[in-house]
Amino acid sequence: MDWNSRRITAIIENALLEDRATRDATSYACIDANQRATATIIAKQDCIIAGIGCIARILDIYAALDGAVTSHYEVTTHPEIFDGVRLHKGQSVAVVRHNARVLLSCERVILNFLQRMSGVATLTRKYVDAVSG
């Protein structure tokens, strides 16, 4: 998937703006501007993972929308975890290191994209398995 396409960029921008991610008053009031944090995304149930590439793209687009974000991020996944892989409940999808304010501001959008895409992939796998016999 081309996460840099204009269409996908517009969808992500709209999601961030709709969520008011760049205006998260609580994060800005309660968290130091230089505070770094680590977030681990964990599968809440067995699934087929899809959309891992959206994590970095959402963080990039957030930085462009916010203008004040200067810290660099790191998204780490296990080499055997990529789009289309079956995950088990409790398994780590990715670890993200970034500015704490940014992580909290973007978490809902990231999780929404991953949940939607993984839900479609999981249901598709179920149908393919059913017709394959």
For residue range 7-60, list pLDDT tens digits in order: 999 999 999 999 998 888 888 889 998 899 999 999 999 999 999 999 999 999
β strands within 3-121, DSSP E: 36-42, 47-48, 74-76, 86-87, 92-99
The pTM score is 0.92
Q: Which residue has the tokens 């793209």?
A: 57
What CATH topology corresponds to 6-132?
Answer: Aldehyde Oxidoreductase; domain 3 (3.90.1170)
Q: Which residues, other chains included, contact 90 with Cβ-Cβ below 8 Å and sequence gap of 6+?
A: 42, 43
* Nearest residue to 98 (alpha-carbon basis) of 128, 66, 125: 66
Q: 73 and 59 in contact (C-beta within 8 Å)?
A: yes
Structural domain boundaries in the chain? 6-132
